[in-house]
Amino acid sequence: MSARRWSRLGLLAAEAVGAAVLTAGVCWAILALLAGEQSTAGLIGRLLGADPGGAAAAVAASLGVPLDWTVAGVDGRLYPITLLLSGSPLALLAAGPLVGMVVLGVRTRKGLTVAGAAVAAGGYAITLTGFVVAGGALAADPLVHLAAPALLVAGAATVWASVGILAARTFRLNRAAVVVAVVAAGVVVAVPASAEPSPGGRVLPFGGGASAPRVGYHRPGVTAELTRLRAEQGAEPLVANDLWRGTPSMVGTRSKLTGGVPGWLRQHAGIFGLADPVGSLRSVREQREPTGERHLWFQQHVGGVPVYGSQVGIHLDRTGQYVEFVTNGAEPALDVRSTQATVLAGDALRTARLAMPNGRLVEPAKLYLLPSNPEPNRATPTVLAWQVWLTDLSGGLSNAYFVDARSGRLVYALPKTAHARDRRIYDANKLTELPIVPKRTEGEGATGIDDVDDAYDYLGDTYDFYHSRFGRDSYDGKGGDLRAFVRVRSKKDEPMRNAAFIPDDIDTMVFGEGMTTVDVVAHELTHGVTFNSAGLWYMYQSGALNESFSDIFGEAIENYSKGAHDWLVGGQIPGGALRSMADPTIYGDPAHYRDFESSCSDWGGVHTNSGIQNKAFYLLTQQIGITKAAAIAYRTLTTYLGERARFTDSRVGFIESANKLYGKGSTEAKEAAAAWTAVGVDGAFEQPRQDCACFADESLAGAGVDGLDPQGPGVDAVLAALLHVRDLFSAARTPALAHYEVVYVTYGQRAIELMATDDDLRRRTAHAMQTLEPALRTVGTAAGDSTVVSQAMLDELSGLMNNYAAADVAAGGGGFAERIGQELDRAAFDQMAGKTVNEALAFLDTRVG
């Protein structure tokens, strides 16, 4: 071969390398521009662009190569074509190879031989494959791992290059084509600012993007199924759509039951989006009404493992021949990588106890598949996890912790505590220790202690209300003991302005001093009714409904007991009312769905957003009276709602309940629909979904873990400590905790935004949380009386706060820096070194409370 030909091939190879570098550069530019967006795609852009492994994965994805990912022990596969189909801004990464192939084709078009084409395409493929492999090897993020098969990368890159070379020769492309390609790429790159956030991102249980998909989105087969039901009953079915799953979450219908329930499930599989609903759904319970109506509940399973929070209710009419209503909580498309645990239940218990050291195991650990939040046009990733349910009565806590059954990592915590006629009243007598002998039991006379006697009387009134109105035998429907501790304190010298229902194997209520008013007692016992019926999760919209139903029956039972009520929640407790149902805005709570507060505090704003249903219920009572309205609410709660119900589900439940109780199309049903419409829940508009991974998750994710000292507490221990502090914030047990919860609610999102764009700040945050772990883990506990606050802890915390202030100023300011300065001045850290953790908290109570 002549020297000239060798030289020509060398130039072609150089052009190929240049085109490959250009491809990677365009991909990096897209990631950098996406990183400025406050969206899921923006988060992914920041994560990928900050790490060589992430940038390499982005290049592989731009070529269309599937990515295998692992996030904190959770694994899955991403097919880039789904980004294009879902309209994700991340699909713009394809501009990288598009520009590269056009440039390569134009630059190599003249006099190209077969050998030259092979060198050009091969050089392009080898360069990009080398970049992807090297980037993967240099990945610095220990929690997030992305990998693409090298052979697939090489093959895809060869195809792109070959198409570019062939197109250039066929269509005689010239330098003008290069200019057009580059300009087009620039336009494409500028689009993300207006594009919808994508469904990608780090996958955590029940986490996901906070954007709402387009209204009316249905998975294939759902629209046809709803059309069938419409034709079958001759009228439009009553439907609540889950816009993210793409399936209806509630369906009011009248459909002939043929072939029994299994036959009906097969015939109407399209409603659930399940290929085999009979094989996927297992019976868990049945409710029978005196009228003959039956309510059959099923749990979704995959590979013999239940899917957490995914239940289906089939509601039959009194003849048993028609399906009248469907409650659909099934996940229609799950990405399940394994159903075999490699971590023992005992090891999971030890990990969970990092978060609640004094927790008592309520029941044996159970294995579940935890789904992430569903998104349109993709399979929903899952985590195989042990549920470890722990309760600490002295701390007023009950949480379900989830430990990855494959990696052993603590991945999630779900609250079961709701700060909220065999009666047993225990008197703590203003102490922190809980007594073991009741002060007053069923049939005994008054004690002369107001809190004890009020709790006894009002628990009796609550029991009588549920039994006389609805035939319910106690909160669990099985005659469960009514057990309450009164005059409880979380600190010896400070009354507790709180109450809670703590579900476990001895379901218990806890009341602070003066908290045993009729509406508060009824409110807390109603949490027990909810726990034993709909089981509404105590977070996000389902948690707001949980709180609202307790408010509703608190008022209804106050009216039953006293003959009147004031529409105030806790109107007679020390310090005054907590909420108003007639006008929630008086206490800063929303009264309309448009004012819904997407907060990561208080388990996603459960006490705040309860105002929306509270207002709807109040409006309904003004038209049909509180007795009828309460009957509608009770049937909705105990018959139709599933664990993850949303406001739109409760709306449909109210309407269907009114149809059943007072007649289809009755005044009561019309007023129920009108009340919900008046508060903005009309079945069409949907608020963006809440996603509260929040500060604990963000500070320990991605590059932040680089900041951890290998010799210090591990990620699980630090996360557990932060979860403990979150519990304390939710309870707001001291003035300082209440104060700092407000600070977090106000500025927490700003802190997350700053951290998400500054990996060094994320690392410093992770390291500070690790240094503070002993204090965070023990604050508010008995161990906090012996754990000492060191000068190193205070220096690390104040230094971190100053880092955030500087970052806020550099980012244009948002009032965060000024607030940090005020808080540091008020806290007086220089006076806290050497104090125990609980002494330091008491000191802060005097400074900021």
The mean pLDDT value for 572-593 works out to 88
Dist CA 653 CA 640 (whole Å): 6
Dist CA 626 CA 633 (whole Å): 10
Dist CA 18 CA 10 (whole Å): 12
Share of the chain above pLDDT 90, in %: 23
Q: Same structural domain for residues 712 and 654?
A: no
288 within some domain: yes
Domain boundary among 353, 388, 415: 415
The mean pLDDT value for 743-751 works out to 74
pLDDT of the residue at 208: 42
Q: Same structural domain for residues 189 and 301?
A: no
CATH number at residue 360: 3.10.450.40
pLDDT of the residue at 7: 77
Mean of the per-residue pLDDT values for the chain? 79
50 within some domain: yes
pLDDT band at 294 (very low <50, low <70, confident <90, very high): very high
* Interval 527-556: pLDDT, tens: 889 988 998 988 888 999 999 999 999 999
Domain boundary among 532, 554, 589: 532
Tokens representing residue 222 in the block: 């759902």
pLDDT of the residue at 172: 62
Dist CA 59 CA 150 (whole Å): 12
Q: Same structural domain for residues 669 and 777?
A: no
**pLDDT over 90 (residue 558):** yes
Residues 6+ apart with CB under 8 A from 816: 747, 750, 751, 754, 804, 805, 808
Dist CA 538 CA 548 (whole Å): 11
The mean pLDDT value for 85-114 works out to 78
Q: Same structural domain for residues 496 and 605?
A: no
**pLDDT over 60 (residue 695):** no
Q: Same structural domain for residues 556 and 678?
A: yes
Dist CA 138 CA 59 (whole Å): 15
Q: Domain range spanning residue 408?
A: 345-415
Longest dimension (CA), the chain: 112
Choose the weakest-confidence range: 13-17, 160-164, 528-532, 684-688: 684-688
**pLDDT over 80 (residue 712):** no
pLDDT band at 845 (very low <50, low <70, confident <90, very high): confident
Among residues 232, 310, 237, the alpha carbon closest in space to that of 273 is found at: 310
Region of residue 216 (left: phi > 0; alpha: psi -120 to 50; beta: else): left
339 within some domain: no
pLDDT band at 430 (very low <50, low <70, confident <90, very high): low
200 within some domain: no
215 within some domain: no
Q: Which amino acid is at 590?
A: P
Q: Same structural domain for residues 319 and 356?
A: no
CATH number at residue 686: 1.10.390.10
Residue in this structure with the two tokens 């240049």, named with its chain if needed? 18
Q: Same structural domain for residues 155 and 77?
A: yes
The mean pLDDT value for 396-412 works out to 83
Number of domains the chain contains: 6
204 within some domain: no
Dist CA 749 CA 744 (whole Å): 8
pLDDT of the residue at 559: 92
**pLDDT over 70 (residue 181):** no
Q: In the β-sheet with 499-502, what is the strand arrangement from edge to edge?
A: 440-441, 423-427, 482-486, 508-511, 499-502
The mean pLDDT value for 210-228 works out to 66
Q: Same structural domain for residues 169 and 81?
A: yes
* Residues in the chain, total: 849
27 within some domain: yes
Dist CA 218 CA 220 (whole Å): 6
Q: Same structural domain for residues 11 and 150?
A: yes
pLDDT band at 283 (very low <50, low <70, confident <90, very high): very high
Dist CA 413 CA 370 (whole Å): 12
Q: Same structural domain for residues 385 and 494?
A: no
**pLDDT over 90 (residue 442):** no
* Interval 58-78: pLDDT, tens: 899 889 888 876 543 334 567
Q: Using alpha carbons, list the distances in angstroms from residue 24 to 102, 131, 520, 759.
A: 14, 9, 61, 22
Q: Same structural domain for residues 238 and 306?
A: yes
Q: Same structural domain for residues 282 and 254?
A: yes
pLDDT of the residue at 650: 95
* Interval 474-491: pLDDT, tens: 877 777 777 777 776 655
pLDDT of the residue at 207: 45
Determine the 3-state secondary structure of 197 from DSSP: coil
Among residues 422, 429, 427, 434, the alpha carbon closest in space to that of 392 is found at: 434
214 within some domain: no
pLDDT of the residue at 651: 94
pLDDT of the residue at 197: 30
**pLDDT over 50 (residue 704):** no
156, 157, 163, 169 alpha-carbon torsion, rounded to 10°:
-160
Dist CA 502 CA 510 (whole Å): 8
Which residues are tagged catalytic? 524, 607
Domain boundary among 666, 690, 714: 690
